Amino acid sequence: MRRDFDVLAGIGATVDGGVSRIALSAADLQARAWLADVIEQEGFTFCDDDAGNLSGVLPCAIPDAPTVLIGSHLDSVPNGGLFDGTIGIVAGLECLRIVRDAGLQLPAALELINFTDDEGAWKSLFGARALVGAVDTAELSDTEFVAALRQVGLDPRTVTHAKRDPRTLKAYLELHIEHGTRLERGDIAIGTVNGIVGRATYEITFYGQAGHSGTTDMYQRRDALRGASAFIVRAHEMIRERFGDGIFNCGDLVVKPGKFNIIPSEVRVTVEVRHVNHDLMAQMESRVFAIARECAASHNLQYHINKVTQMPSADMSEAIMQAIEQACADLTLTSLRMVSYAGHAAQFTSQIVPSGMIFVPSVGGYGHQPSEYTPWGDIVDGANVLLHTVLKVALHN
Amino acid sequence: MRRDFDVLAGIGATVDGGVSRIALSAADLQARAWLADVIEQEGFTFCDDDAGNLSGVLPCAIPDAPTVLIGSHLDSVPNGGLFDGTIGIVAGLECLRIVRDAGLQLPAALELINFTDDEGAWKSLFGARALVGAVDTAELSDTEFVAALRQVGLDPRTVTHAKRDPRTLKAYLELHIEHGTRLERGDIAIGTVNGIVGRATYEITFYGQAGHSGTTDMYQRRDALRGASAFIVRAHEMIRERFGDGIFNCGDLVVKPGKFNIIPSEVRVTVEVRHVNHDLMAQMESRVFAIARECAASHNLQYHINKVTQMPSADMSEAIMQAIEQACADLTLTSLRMVSYAGHAAQFTSQIVPSGMIFVPSVGGYGHQPSEYTPWGDIVDGANVLLHTVLKVALHN
């Protein structure tokens, strides 16, 4: 497992000590080719689907036995870390090797699956969504994305064929680093994910009136940046006051025309809202929109809200959570149930198959950056919990 | 004069009905070539200086007589209007023709001067500043600008030679459209400029900490956009409350890394401050900086202020203002003294020679856009006031 990890650390390596394996980039393709080679060398069954997801399968002797999926991703964010995604792949491979080498005859097939574009360089959680039939055909009209798919031999017209029949699946499991410091602060070995936050992203555009900054009456300006700034300040305050568990981020803001001496006529703010509770999520969104409306009105602006993505919140399987906790107890590892504030494939797999996630600590909570770090011993603990959970889930009726 | 105006309307004409004659662009060079031809055809003396300023001179018979400068500019902002700058050039040419054709022997030379890069495509008021010795050598280390200068045969090492001896100059006059609606609202024919606002531009950069938006504790974020937004909101409020005549604009804002799901780590805000009173201008700047400091501190950010430009405020000559007002009275035109909130060459010429500006109304106050419009009769009125003022100033001891 360590050899695999070290190989992947060298594919798309950056000068900062991280990796850039953006989905469908040369580095991602190199990592995928490496995975296909390993699967073949190990004698697992290699499969790929119409969304570019790559799998190595340890088949079951029983005909039509269901499959336990062990998922993760080889792709990374731009200039990301060595651990996000990678540890799930190498631990999954190791589970298959151990079960094979031990000669265990499980009543389920085991399938390690690498999802296409988990990080959303093109379309967030694309491979996982294809697996459950949650790809929107509108996404496949993005010509750049389609070109990238075709370059790796995928046909946008057949992506929907990647959808799996739920009756063929028994469980979905994933080992991942925690994005956050709850495990580290509590000195806890394993996080048992009980839910994944819902996430909605919007572009809110405020429209004012351009004008020469020196000569337009200060009291008659329709300054789109002033209105957008008031929105950002007020929305953050509202979320803090009313939604203790809610997440809010304005990650970008673009000004037109963007000149020193011209009053901003158009400002687009990118907005993200997350909550694990579906109803509170809806309340947060409607309050954010109300603030946008008020700030537009009080600054004499027009505004428009464009929804970019909507990822539903998801509950993990109670039976799988109990299996993870039992595995931790067997291995004398501490564990804690926790919400995932980041999106993961299990957000979608849970729509068609009982799903669970195992978190290991990330030092300092760093994620999506080269400084991401998890001690090797913690990864081994996580891989052992994954293996024990896989066995419990596979054996469970 | 109308023929000249119509020719210039066709040089760099845009589909929107305006012109784009960005300084040192092909269109600007075409307009300059046209002006040089006209100067030659009319029999005026053609001169150019080491900053690329072009002049047509009607010489004085008296040796060593001082010069009355009539200035303006052929360059425009990108996609600008037909009137800004242009009317000053065509009216200045017409003044020289009329004085010549009338056979007047004035005790001063008359010089129409076209300033290089008045609009600041490269360096604001470059030609006017070169004339008074206010070009900073650091500006001439901008390699793109130097390349543009060299392309028109200018040597950056000799730009400082464009500086004039104040003893050779008697006055500076310029006819320009008002950027604003004070003349239109008051139904007044002529604005007599009594001062030009000072202008300082800054880039204020706030530095926070990037992090995954879903997983970084909402209460431990160092969100540079949140701090920058608070700065924009508070600075605007402060200016309105404390500086009724002050001008403040945040014209652009750039976010890094600018992703939906990453907390902004760096935000650069472009800030502009204008005031006609030197002391109040300094107070405004220091209060704006104090708000930047407070917003950085309260959001746990670092910040840095970079001064981009500083244009001093300028007083126009009382004698010239009285000459303009007397010219208006002679022509039975109404006039009003007013501050110019836009920058003009006279801001710098006033440092070495008594200077004055004549404004004509601009319908709706539009400026720096194709919708700029001044009825031809108003331009003729302005040109007549310019001519009468030139004569008064030239004859004045």
Enumerate residues 6+ apart whose C-beta is below 8 A from B51: B116, B126, B127, B130, B131, B135, B154, B159, B162
Higher pLDDT, A101 or A217: A101
How far is the alpha carbon of A337 from chain B, nearest alpha carbon, in Å? 15
Going by the DSSP 8-state scheme, the letter that residue A30 receives in this structure is: H
Token readout for B181 is 């609606």
- For an interface test with A, the pick among B179, B217, B261 (most A C-beta atoms closer than 10 Å) comes out as B261
- Residue A5 phi, psi (nearest 5): -60, -45
Chain B contacts in chain A segment 47-106 (CB below 8 A):
none
On whether the CB atoms of residues A74 and A31 are closer than 8 A, the answer is yes
Chosen from B22, B219, B220, B260 to mutate, greatest number of chain A CBs within 10 A: B260
**Across the interface, do B260 and A247 touch by the CB < 8 Å criterion?**
no
Report the phi/psi class of residue A85: left, alpha or beta, with left for phi > 0 and alpha for psi in -120 to 50. left
Q: Among all chains, which residue has been given the structure tokens 């080679």?
A: A37
Task: Confirm or reject contact between A16 and chain B (CB < 8 A).
Answer: no
- For residue A388, what are the contacts with CB-CB under 8 A and spacing of at least 6? A326, A327, A330, A331
User: Distances in Å between the alpha carbon of B112 and those of A163, B69, B342, B380?
Assistant: 77, 6, 22, 17
Centre a 10 Å sphere on the Cβ of residue A47 and count the other Cβ atoms it contains: 13
A316 touches A193 (CB < 8 A): yes
| Residue ranges of A 200-229 with Cβ closer than 8 A to chain B | 201, 210, 212-219, 223, 225-226, 228-229
Determine which helix (DSSP H) or strand (DSSP E) holds B192, and give its type and residue range.
strand B190-196
> Measured over all CA atoms, what is the biggest interatomic distance in chain A, rounded to whole angstroms?
82
Residues A67, A69, A70, A74, CA torsion sign:
positive
What pLDDT sits at residue B351? 96
CB–CB contact A251 B253 (8 Å):
no
Contacting residues of A for B180, CB less than 8 Å apart: 215-217
Per-position DSSP letters for A260-300, written without gaps between them: TTB---EEEEEEEEEESSHHHHHHHHHHHHHHHHHHHHHTT
What backbone phi and psi angles, to 5 degrees, belong to B210? -70, 160
Q: Which pLDDT value is given to residue A100? A: 97
**Would an 8 Å CB–CB cutoff place A262 in contact with chain B?**
yes
Residue A116 and residue A23 in contact, taking contact as beta carbons nearer than 8 Å:
yes
Which tens digit of pLDDT belongs to each residue from A260-316? 889 999 999 999 999 988 899 999 999 999 999 999 999 999 999 999 988 889 999
Which residues from B are below 8 Å from A341, CB to CB? 214-215
Identify the residue among B193, B219, B233, B270 best suited for mutation to test binding to A, counting A beta carbons within 10 A and taking the highest: B233
pLDDT at A213 (0 to 100): 86
Is the confidence at residue A218, as pLDDT, over 90? Answer: no
The counts of H helices and E strands in chain A are: 11, 13
CA-wise closest residue to B253 among B233, B279, B278, B232 = B232
Closest CA to B76 of B16, B133, B134, B131: B16
Give the pLDDT score at A305.
Answer: 98
Strand partners, A359: A176, A191
Q: CA-to-CA distance for B89 and A103, rounded, in angstroms?
A: 93
Residue whose structure tokens are 């998890």 = A374
Question: What is d(CA A144, CA A127) in angstroms, rounded to the nearest whole number?
Answer: 17
CB of A392 less than 8 A from some CB of B? no
Put simply, the answer to whether A218 touches B230 (Cβ < 8 Å) is no
Q: How far is CA A192 from the centre of its chain?
A: 17
Is residue B302 exposed (0-12), middle (13-18) or buried (19+ Cβ within 10 Å)? middle
As a whole number, mean pLDDT of residues A197-219 equals: 90
Q: Which of A127, A153, A5, A123 is nearest to A54 (CA)?
A: A127
pLDDT given for residue A214 in this prediction: 81
Count the neighbouring beta carbons within 10 Å of the beta carbon of residue B140. 17
Q: Under an 8 A CB cutoff, do A368 and B212 touch? A: yes
Closest Cα of chain A to B296: distance in Å?
Answer: 14
Question: Looking at the partner chain, which of B214, B239, B343 has a beta carbon nearest the beta carbon of A341?
Answer: B214
Q: Which A positions 308-347 lie with beta carbon below 8 A of chain B?
A: 308, 341-343
Is B232 in CB contact (< 8 Å) with chain A?
yes
Q: What is the pLDDT of residue A309?
A: 86
Residues A345 and A311: beta-carbon distance below 8 Å: no
What is the nearest CA distance from A339 to chain B, expressed in angstroms?
10
Contacts of A252 in chain B (CB under 8 A): 255, 258-260, 264
Note whether B272 contacts A: Cβ–Cβ < 8 A: yes
CB contact under 8 A, B217 and A369: no
Separation in Å, CA of A188 to nearest CA in chain B: 17
Name every residue whose Cβ is closer than 8 Å to that of residue A145 and which is 6 or more positions away in sequence: A122, A123, A139
Which one of A83, A185, A193, A215 would you mutate to disrupt binding with B, by most B Cβ within 10 Å of its Cβ? A215
Stretch 275-304 of chain A: residues touching chain B, C-beta under 8 Å:
none
Interface touch B214/A250, C-beta < 8 Å = no
Which chain B residues touch A228 with a CB distance below 8 Å?
229
In chain A, whose CA is at the least distance from the CA of B177? A215
* Chain B residue closest in CA terms to A198: B214
Which residues, numbered 175 to 194 in chain A, qualify as contacts with chain B under a Cβ-Cβ cut-off of 8 Å?
178-181
pLDDT of residue B309: 86
Which position has the token pair 């981020």? Answer: A249
Task: For residue B225, give the nearest of A253, A255, A258 by CB distance.
Answer: A253
Q: Find residue B335's DSSP bridge partners.
A: B190
Question: What confidence score (pLDDT) does residue A370 get?
Answer: 92
Evaluate if residue A217 carries a pLDDT over 90.
no
Q: What's the confidence (pLDDT) of residue B245? A: 86
- pLDDT, averaged across chain A: 95
Contact (CB<8Å) A210/B261: no
Condensed to tens digits (0 to 9), the pLDDT of residues A143-183 reads: 999 999 998 899 999 999 999 999 999 999 999 999 889 99
- What are the strands of the beta sheet with A266-275, ordered from one edge? A247-256, A266-275, A198-207, A302-311
Of B106, B86, B83, nearest to B94 by C-alpha is B86
Which pair of structure tokens corresponds to residue B55?
């002049």
Do residue A214 and residue B343 have CB atoms under 8 angstroms apart? yes
B357, B358, B362, B367: CA torsion to nearest 10: -20
Of A179, A261, A343, the CB nearest to B249: A261
Pick from B214, B259, B367: CB nearest A215 = B367
Identify the burial level of A309 via C-beta atoms within 10 angstroms of its C-beta, where 0-12 means exposed, 13-18 middle and 19 or more buried.
middle
Q: Give how far B261 is from chain A: nearest CA, Å.
A: 6
Positions of chain B with pLDDT under 50: none
* C-alpha pair distances (Å), A99 with each of A68, A103, A159, A196, B136: 13, 6, 32, 29, 75
* Residue pair B128/B118 in contact by the 8 Å Cβ criterion: yes
Nearest chain B residue (CA) to A309? B260
The answer to whether the pTM exceeds 0.90 is: no
For A232, the closest of B213, B218, B226 (CB atoms) is B226
| Chain B, nearest residue to A235 by Cα | B226
